């Protein structure tokens, strides 16, 4: 028990630690997790102190643990699929899920036989498995790389839909060769139809389970605190039940279940989204560490130059031909086709299914079956390294990279927000004004500012408005309670530290005020409210930008502003936005641009020079009193930045 608890703790530390390092460095998280698991498992074992040996710790439980984890990941992926995304990418997704499967299977099998030297049965089965492009790898890559909506949607749908399809292809191949071993005269007709029927039946069970949940949840049949446990228990139950019908049919069932729930319009499921995303991150981290640390050095002894040639063929021939041939006649632009043709990292499902069938093929007398474990890991590592480290470069070269500079999403069209958006546009910062009133959006439309007409809290907005370019949200409508609601809703997507609203939170003892825990961070150091900005806007206040340098620092910028002016935010040279709030102030540095909200009249140059001269005299007096008479290089008495 103690050893199992220690293994679980180490897996958690390595998995989440790799995710954190990936967030800090921008490196692909999957690469770091594979490296961590490989170092803690087989590499450390070579030196006699193996930190992780999941097979020894969990024994027979390891396979079902990984199977259930993969099922939950596919279910979570299905929940992220919305049919409305197919309006622009549906034709490409359907081609990849039908024609692409057949082409990819044939080319993968041919490469396995002619290049890797596998016997035909093993090559055909492995070619079916190679169809998968795991969502556990694709989705994190897309999230980190900020790819445009359409190619990202194609890759996401392909990854989630083709995972169970690849597993089903492997089952068909295995069952056929198993039947052939018992009856040399067996044909595909005896094998394929029953498996297709089993997959369809499993899909129907997943669909029925989703409809039942969508019926029970809104009617109060399940209390709120039990909804998440009931949902995840139902997913595991459906997976296990349908796997009893046919091996790997459970993956079809849970994927159908997730997609159905995502598109059935059940409002009570919205509250579980943050939790299921956290579960998915934990599962992805844990399973990758488990699989990488389970690898034995002996599994790699079969790899030779032929397998290296096979990996190169997979990257540069099989995948590109599969996509380009299946996309013929579609309306997908060629630059997006080429990007999709390059990006196809493999993940958990490939390794899990390969390990399962390697043992079964060996039992049927195919010695090459043992090769699949090491080869599948080699495919995962090669594709993750190749695609993980080149996705940004490929996206830039092919013109499918999303906006690189962090953007600002403004909720509420008011004179103040329109003036702010205008100022941000002059600084090349992506900006978007969102409002449900066409009339309030009138000034923004007339000025040519980017806008979205619709309710930001409507679920349709996330499918009609690409939120990926916007890393900061400012809620600045005339209703502070609504602003707080918007900030609270988007905190889990944008980040609690990146949602802002007008108005300082009230004292904790004020029972009539909204609690700080559900509000956004208050804009301005003085915590201006909606009425404050409206009043100043009517008085003619304007936004003003000030560029800092080594010669013109933060204090100098302060001196150029009126006493009543308020600094709103600063923009780093990289485009990163940092706001001045009532609770914190960003650290200004050379190269930053400060945006301030100022009264219409500023100090004249003479007034600023006089103020600066008086400060210098005061500094000289302080220096004289302290005995420092050598050149005034000390940073004493009031030299630091001051807050108005």
**pLDDT tens figures, 455-496:** 988 866 766 777 777 889 999 998 888 998 999 888 877 888
From CA 114, how far away is CA 530, in angstroms rounded? Answer: 70
Average pLDDT over residues 385-395: 87
**In the structure, what pLDDT confidence band is assigned to residue 182 with cuts at 50, 70 and 90?**
confident
Mark whether 10 and 33 lie in a shared domain.
yes
pLDDT above 90 (res 384): no
Of 350, 370, 398, the domain-final residue: 398
pTM score, whole prediction:
0.69
- Would you state the pLDDT for residue 621? 60
- Would you state the pLDDT for residue 492? 77
- Would you state the pLDDT for residue 114? 93
From CA 347, how far away is CA 343, in angstroms rounded? Answer: 13
**Helix (H) or strand (E) run with residue 501 in it:** strand 499-501
From CA 175, how far away is CA 338, in angstroms rounded? Answer: 35
- Written in H, E and C, the secondary structure of 155-172 is HHHHHHHHHHHHHHHHHH
Of 371, 398, 425, the domain-final residue: 398
- Written in H, E and C, the secondary structure of 295-340 is CCHHHHCCCCHHHHHHHHHHHHHHHHHHHHHHCCCCCCCHHHHHHH
Mark whether 309 and 423 lie in a shared domain.
no
- Would you state the pLDDT for residue 608? 57
Residue 644 lies in a domain: no
- Distance (Å) of CA 300 to CA 118, 121, 255, 296, 378: 15, 21, 32, 7, 9
From CA 93, how far away is CA 585, in angstroms rounded? Answer: 47
**In the structure, what pLDDT confidence band is assigned to residue 240 with cuts at 50, 70 and 90?**
very high
Looking at the 3D structure of the chain, how many domains does it have?
2
**In the structure, what pLDDT confidence band is assigned to residue 103 with cuts at 50, 70 and 90?**
very high
Mark whether 392 and 411 lie in a shared domain.
no
Residue 369 lies in a domain: yes
- Would you state the pLDDT for residue 629? 39
Mark whether 354 and 487 lie in a shared domain.
no
CA geometry: angle at 580 spanning 577 and 582, to 5°? 145
Residue 519 lies in a domain: yes
Mark whether 37 and 168 lie in a shared domain.
yes
Residue 633 lies in a domain: no
Average pLDDT over residues 185-204: 82
Of 354, 373, 398, the domain-final residue: 398
pLDDT above 90 (res 421): yes
- Would you state the pLDDT for residue 509? 60
**In the structure, what pLDDT confidence band is assigned to residue 639 with cuts at 50, 70 and 90?**
very low
Whole-number average pLDDT of the chain: 81
pLDDT above 90 (res 38): no
Residue 98 lies in a domain: yes
Residue 368 lies in a domain: yes
pLDDT above 70 (res 8): yes
More confident residue, 185 or 478: 478
- Would you state the pLDDT for residue 554? 86
Residue 487 lies in a domain: yes
Maximum mean pLDDT: which of 262-276, 277-291, 356-370: 277-291
Mark whether 364 and 459 lie in a shared domain.
no
Domain that includes residue 287, residue range = 2-398
More confident residue, 103 or 358: 103
**In the structure, what pLDDT confidence band is assigned to residue 404 with cuts at 50, 70 and 90?**
low
- Distance (Å) of CA 623 to CA 551, 619, 626, 634, 640: 22, 6, 5, 8, 15
Mark whether 364 and 429 lie in a shared domain.
no
Mark whether 280 and 427 lie in a shared domain.
no
From CA 484, how far away is CA 489, in angstroms rounded? Answer: 9
pLDDT above 90 (res 412): yes
Mark whether 352 and 434 lie in a shared domain.
no
From CA 469, how far away is CA 17, in angstroms rounded? Answer: 26
51 Cβ contact list (under 8 Å, min separation 6): 10, 40, 41, 44, 293
- Would you state the pLDDT for residue 610? 59
Residue 300 lies in a domain: yes
Q: Which two tokens stand for residue 525?
A: 């150091």
CA dihedral angle for residue 537, residue 540, residue 543, residue 544, rounded to 10 degrees: -160
**In the structure, what pLDDT confidence band is assigned to residue 587 with cuts at 50, 70 and 90?**
confident
CA dihedral angle for residue 610, residue 613, residue 614, residue 619, rounded to 10 degrees: 160
**What CATH number did the domain enclosing 353 receive?**
1.20.1530.20
- Would you state the pLDDT for residue 644? 33
- Would you state the pLDDT for residue 338? 94
Q: Which two tokens stand for residue 298?
A: 């002996």
Mark whether 77 and 206 lie in a shared domain.
yes
Tell me, what DSSP letter sits at residue 628? Answer: -
- Would you state the pLDDT for residue 263? 80
Strand partners, 546: 594
**In the structure, what pLDDT confidence band is assigned to residue 641 with cuts at 50, 70 and 90?**
very low
Q: Which two tokens stand for residue 382?
A: 């090669």
From CA 619, how far away is CA 401, in angstroms rounded? Answer: 51
More confident residue, 136 or 116: 116
pLDDT above 70 (res 507): no
pLDDT tens, position by position, 591-605:
899 999 998 865 545
pLDDT tens, position by position, 526-576:
667 777 888 888 888 999 988 998 888 888 888 888 888 888 899 988 888
**What CATH number did the domain enclosing 482 receive?**
3.40.50.720
What totals of helices (H) and strands (E) does the chain contain, helices first? 27, 10
Q: How many CA atoms lie within 13 A of 610 on its CB side?
A: 5
Q: In what order do the strands lie in the sheet containing 566-571?
A: 542-547, 593-598, 566-571, 577-579
Mark whether 563 and 425 lie in a shared domain.
yes
Mark whether 374 and 439 lie in a shared domain.
no
């Amino acid at each position: 028990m103690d050893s199992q608890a220690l293994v679980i703790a180490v897996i958690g530390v390595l998995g989440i630690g790799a995710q954190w390092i990936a967030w800090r460095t921008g490196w692909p998280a999957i690469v770091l997790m594979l490296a961590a698991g490989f170092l803690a498992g087989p590499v450390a074992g070579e030196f006699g102190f193996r930190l992780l040996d999941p097979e020894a710790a969990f024994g027979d439980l390891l396979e079902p643990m990984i199977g259930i984890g993969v099922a939950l990941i596919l279910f979570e992926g299905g929940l992220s699929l919305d049919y409305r995304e197919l309006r622009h990418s549906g034709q490409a997704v359907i081609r990849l899920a039908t024609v692409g499967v057949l082409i990819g299977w044939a080319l993968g099998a041919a490469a396995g036989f002619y290049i890797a030297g596998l016997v035909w049965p093993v090559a055909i089965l492995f070619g079916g498995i190679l169809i998968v492009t795991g969502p556990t790898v694709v989705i994190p890559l897309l999230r980190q790389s900020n790819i445009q909506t359409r190619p990202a949607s194609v890759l996401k749908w392909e990854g989630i839909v083709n995972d169970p399809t690849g597993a089903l292809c492997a089952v068909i191949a295995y069952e056929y060769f198993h039947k052939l071993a018992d009856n040399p005269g067996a044909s595909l007709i005896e094998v394929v139809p029953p498996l297709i029927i089993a997959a369809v039946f499993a899909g129907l069970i997943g669909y029925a389970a989703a409809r039942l949940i969508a019926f029970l949840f809104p009617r109060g049949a399940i209390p709120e605190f039990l909804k998440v446990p009931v949902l995840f228990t139902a997913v595991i139950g459906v997976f296990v039940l349908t796997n009893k019908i046919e091996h790997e049919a459970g993956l079809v069932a849970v994927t159908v279940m997730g997609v159905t729930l995502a598109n059935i319009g059940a409002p009570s499921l919205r509250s579980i989204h943050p939790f299921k995303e956290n579960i998915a991150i934990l599962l992805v981290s844990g399973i990758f560490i488990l699989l990488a640390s389970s690898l034995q050095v002996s599994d790699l002894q079969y790899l030779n130059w032929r397998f290296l040639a096979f990996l190169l063929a997979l990257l540069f021939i099989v995948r590109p031909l599969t996509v380009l041939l299946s996309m013929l006649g579609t309306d997908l632009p060629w630059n997006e086709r080429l990007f999709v043709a390059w990006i196809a990292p493999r993940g958990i499902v490939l390794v899990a299914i390969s390990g399962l069938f390697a043992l079964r093929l060996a039992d049927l007398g195919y010695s090459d079956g043992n090769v699949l474990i090491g080869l599948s890991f080699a495919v995962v590592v090669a594709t993750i390294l190749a695609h993980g480290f080149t996705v940004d470069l490929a996206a830039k070269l092919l013109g499918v990279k999303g906006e690189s500079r962090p953007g600002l999403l403004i909720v509420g069209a008011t004179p103040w927000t329109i003036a702010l958006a205008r100022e941000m546009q002059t600084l090349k910062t992506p900006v978007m004004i969102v409002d449900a009133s066409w009339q309030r959006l009138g000034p923004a439309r007339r000025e040519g500012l980017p806008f979205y007409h619709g309710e930001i809290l409507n679920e349709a907005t996330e499918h009609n408005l690409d939120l990926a370019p916007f890393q900061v949200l400012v809620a600045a409508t005339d209703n502070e309670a609504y602003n707080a609601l918007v900030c609270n809703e988007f905190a889990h997507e944008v980040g609690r530290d990146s949602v802002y609203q007008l108005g300082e939170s009230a004292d904790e003892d004020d029972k009539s005020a909204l609690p700080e825990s559900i509000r956004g961070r208050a804009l301005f150091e003085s915590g201006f409210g909606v009425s404050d900005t409206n009043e100043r806007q009517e008085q003619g206040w304007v936004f003003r930008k000030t560029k800092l340098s080594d010669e013109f620092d933060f204090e100098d910028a302060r001196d150029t502003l009126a006493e009543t002016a308020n600094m709103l935010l600063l923009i780093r040279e990289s485009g990163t936005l940092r706001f001045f709030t009532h609770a914190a102030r960003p650290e200004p540095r050379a190269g930053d641009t400060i945006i301030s909200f100022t009264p219409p009249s500023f100090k004249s140059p003479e007034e600023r020079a006089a103020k600066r001269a008086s400060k210098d005299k005061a500094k000289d007096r302080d220096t004289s009193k302290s005995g420092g008479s050598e050149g005034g290089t000390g940073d004493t008495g009031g030299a630091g930045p001051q807050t108005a």
